[in-house]
Chains A and B, each alone.
Chain A
Amino acid sequence: MKAAVIVFPGSNCDRDIEVALRQSLGREPQMIWHRDTALPALDLIVVPGGFSYGDYLRAGAMAAHSPVMREVIKRAADGVAVLAVCNGFQIATECGLLPGVLLRNKSLRFACRDVHLRVENPYTPFTQQYDDGEVVTIPIAHHDGNYFADDATHRALLDHDQIAFRYCDRAGALTPDANPNGSLDHIAGVFNRDKNVLGLMPHPERAADPALGGNDGRALFDSLVAALS
């Protein structure tokens, strides 16, 4: 598998993803500077977390129009896998790679903590090493992670099995307290219709090393390596 991480000037989870990918992949992913728009042949592109171009406008709004994202969109259309985490998810919704939008957290505050997620679709390259309905613990760290979509879009997500993860409690129940940001239908991550693009607010790369307090994110990277190698 050939993997690459897009590095915007304000990306700050690029190294963390690099470390997690290296661990699962056994070699270095390529780090691609946002101005380098001639992408090599790739099996996986990661759009990492951070603040891309500062996000003073709307999170991801400027990055969505960057030349490198135009290339990522093209590759995604060709079937290349794209993993978009946190700010990457915001960029992916802004540029239309994924449906819906990410609004300010319901609390109006930044939230950094472990959350429980329920695996809603284990039949994808991103999730095949998880079990259906498995509850995993992965941290969030965002100010704008309140997923929203209109009714028709929400319906389509359900109809096409596009919901990847939902916020839940320890037992897997979708209780109001378990929803950390007010997301519609507890949605923490969504796929595109072809399941080659995943966007999620939680940070699997921060839960891929037991020393950091959890290892539940590792299966996501292992899944990708197994599926795409």
Chain B
Amino acid sequence: MTTSPGATAITPAVIAQHGLKPEEYDRIVAAIGRAPNLVELGVFSVMWSEHCSYKSSKKWLRQFPTAAPWVICGPGENAGVIDIGDGDAVVFKMESHNHPSFIEPFQGAATGVGGILRDVFTMGARPIANLNALRFGAQDAPKMRHLVAGVVAGIGSYGNCVGVPTVGGECTFDPSYNGNILVNAMTVGLARADRIFYARAAGIGNPVVYVGSKTGRDGIHGATMASAEFDDKSEEKRPTVQVGDPFTEKLLLEACIELMATDVIVAIQDMGAAGLTSSSCEMAARGGVGIELDLSAVPTRERAMTPYEIMLSESQERMLMVIAKGREAEAEAVFRKWELDVAVIGRVTDTGRIVATFDGATVLDLPVEPLADKPPLYDRPWTPIARNRPPVPALPETSALGPALLALLGSPDLSARRWIWEQYDHMVMADTVARPGGDAAVVRVHGTRKALALSSDCTPRYCYADPEMGGRQAVAECWRNLTAVGAKPLAITDCLNFGSPERPEIMGEFVGCVTGMAEACRALDFPVVSGNVSLYNETSGVAIKPTPQVGGVGLLAEANRMVRAAFRAANDAILLVGATAGHLGCSLYARNLAGSDVGQPPPVDLAAERRNGDFVRGLIHARRLTACHDIADGGLLVALAEMALAGDVGAAIGTSPATAGPAFWFGEDQARYIATCVPAVAAAILAEAHAAGVPALRLGITGGNDLTLDGVERISLHDLRAAHESWFPAYMSALSD
């Protein structure tokens, strides 16, 4: 074993700089039987970072159900894979790019999109849709407009150029994200079920091929940054943010898909977090083999890059693949056609070791197993969360529902997101049949009658108040959104964003949310097939609200049976499906209008959720509904207003409890939908609901240019639209700070 000249001594300070605890370093020494050199220390530090190793979360993630007859590949690969029939498979995953996006919002968000696209096309799938979930701080927090503008422009710039439609997402504002915004990006791709590519190196002697952008010094230790808290000096981390090149991504995408039509590729993985290190170690580990790399052969874009830098660079738009020996020329021809750098940089060995040489000298020689499969796993102390929250104060039984509705629809969390999604090309590929703004986005499976429904959901204020219930709700709401367009929900990916796991309270939030999610996934037959954990989202000891983002995929066997949230025409009967208890705890009404974030979140009854949802989906399949919308943030009246605005058709709401007050109209009880149908079938539907044990009642009838409540209160669609559409543009065009 030679060490590079000028080798840095491995001092406690150097170990700490790598984000490794002293006991973790001792574990490294024990695993390899000697002290590591600096390159090896760097490799261990990224592989054992929270981001790559899941060392604090793994114990709890095992609770998730991950199997179902339609699951082809669950967690552990680059993305999850499910079967949608006819030989078609859907490949999808969600990932965070939180820390980089706070430091440099445009590039941070753009490269987040690039990374998740690669995770999907590396498995042989053509990406067909992107979604995202954005959590910003308080609207008046420092730099917040700059962050919103940068993140949205960054996401748009990347997806628009690659040519994958960005079809859905979420965006909310809360002070807990002031110092740690969240940018979670999801990609959904389409593959043939028998042409899935895995990151499992095999075939001793097979060449290891590097393709894509040249390696630079950008992003070194990004994975380590993503595994640490922020403090006042976070600006200094700007050099660890990578810069995206979506055009090269497009070339890489097309080249990979073209080469994947042959049998040249044995294994493939993108160089994402921890770059060459993680792609080579993980491919070797999954295949139970070794890999030998010649770092001198790696295409570099800067002079005099060291082995340390080459191993740890997070330069974007790069892929590592193992190809069948003797087929190098075929691979090279495809990559040359797409004008990409390509180089054979190593080979598969039977040593079970990752070995790298540079200018002929061995610079690292490590066993793969401890690196990839034996990171320290922590059973972190955690305290169950039982928040002692004040109950919802008695609210005046006001008849002035109109002003309350206008205020809610014009609030930061409920206002129209048009300002965002008009910056995303949501129509490219010409298969987007339900555009952003509804419950779930719907994209056709090209050239078939099928379509996929996609939704991304989480309600952090519920998760904070009661992590287990919040975890359940995130999954249930996603399932409901897919159901509301008529899709059968199939599986989810997740992105679990939390504060520091080293604090028992945060671990308690994590354990609670994961437990609740797992319960809901089991009850709804909605397994987890891929995911990502982002911890240490806190600044100077203040953590974000727990945000276990859920990204769901559902199938419409016949795209033309889809329904939308928009009222379709006048004179349709409006039905409310699901029980309304009037739960105002944690509601936006209580927060925005009663001035307090109080109470417990609405209970999620998973049996009722399933019963109600299955009933609604059956109606949609039978073409008995003309529109359908799930009731979520803001409650019943907000949902009605959204349907009226989307269809530009008003409604007269007549049938409600005579004494209905704010709790009825703005409570956020779960498992509810508003559905419309032609009047002729309304009575039959209500009778069937009753027989099925599904609470349902008739609320009123569509028509006119107003929302009329009980014949007394009249709110014009014009005013509603003005309130709904104006907040975001006004906020973004206000004087920047």
Give complex CA distance A109, B148 in Å.
13
- B-chain residues with CB within 8 Å of residue A49 when the two chains form the complex: 428
- A-chain residues with CB within 8 Å of residue B163 when the two chains form the complex: 12-13, 50-51
Q: Is the CB of B429 within 8 A of A139?
A: no
Given A9-B251, A10-B250, does the pair A203, B427 have CB atoms closer than 8 Å?
A: yes
A180: nearest residue on chain B (CB-CB)? B422
| B433 in the interface (beta carbon within 8 A) | yes
Stretch at the interface among B154-162, B567-575, B591-599, B680-688: B154-162
- B-chain residues with CB within 8 Å of residue A209 when the two chains form the complex: 430
Give complex CA distance A104, B246 in Å.
19
- B246, B250, B428: the one within 8 Å of A9 (CB): B250
Contact mask A43-65 → B, CB, 8 Å, 1/0?
00000011101111000000000
- A-chain residues with CB within 8 Å of residue B425 when the two chains form the complex: 110, 112, 141
Q: Is the CB of A211 within 8 A of B560?
A: yes
Give complex CA distance A9, B254 in Å.
9
- B-chain residues with CB within 8 Å of residue A20 when the two chains form the complex: 430
A141: nearest residue on chain B (CB-CB)? B425
- B-chain residues with CB within 8 Å of residue A55 when the two chains form the complex: 161, 247
- B-chain residues with CB within 8 Å of residue A16 when the two chains form the complex: 428-430
Q: Is the CB of B424 within 8 A of A12?
A: no
Give complex CA distance A54, B213 in Å.
14
Tell me the smallest distance from the CB of A207 to a CB of chain B, in Å.
Answer: 9
Q: Is the CB of A141 within 8 A of B428?
A: yes
Tell me the smallest distance from the CB of A206 to a CB of chain B, in Å.
Answer: 5
168-227 of chain A: CB within 8 A of chain B? 203, 205-206, 209, 211-213
| B231 in the interface (beta carbon within 8 A) | no
398-434 of chain B: CB within 8 A of chain A? 421-433
Given A13-B428, A109-B153, A141-B428, does the pair A56, B247 have CB atoms closer than 8 Å?
A: yes
Q: Is the CB of A54 within 8 A of B161?
A: yes
Interface size, chain A (Cβ < 8 Å):
30
- A-chain residues with CB within 8 Å of residue B560 when the two chains form the complex: 211
| A19 in the interface (beta carbon within 8 A) | yes
Given A10-B250, A111-B423, does the pair A212, B156 have CB atoms closer than 8 Å?
A: no
Tell me the smallest distance from the CB of B449 to a CB of chain A, in Å.
Answer: 11
- B156, B247, B430: the one within 8 Å of A19 (CB): B430
Give complex CA distance A51, B160 in Å.
9
| B93 in the interface (beta carbon within 8 A) | no
Give complex CA distance A199, B531 in Å.
44
Contact mask B226-250 → A, CB, 8 Å, 1/0?
0000000000000000000111101
Q: Is the CB of B423 within 8 A of A109?
A: yes
| B339 in the interface (beta carbon within 8 A) | yes
Tell me the smallest distance from the CB of B451 to a CB of chain A, in Å.
Answer: 9
| B347 in the interface (beta carbon within 8 A) | no
Name B's A-contacting residues (CB within 8 A). Answer: 153, 156-157, 160-163, 245-248, 250-251, 254, 338-339, 421-433, 435, 444, 559-560
With A16-B430, A54-B245 already in contact, 16 other A-B pairs whose C-beta atoms are closer than 8 Å: A9-B338, A12-B161, A12-B163, A13-B428, A51-B161, A54-B161, A54-B247, A110-B157, A110-B425, A111-B423, A141-B425, A141-B427, A143-B160, A209-B430, A211-B560, A212-B430
Top 4 A-B residue pairs of the complex, sorted by shortest distance between their CB atoms: A12-B163, A54-B247, A16-B430, A141-B425
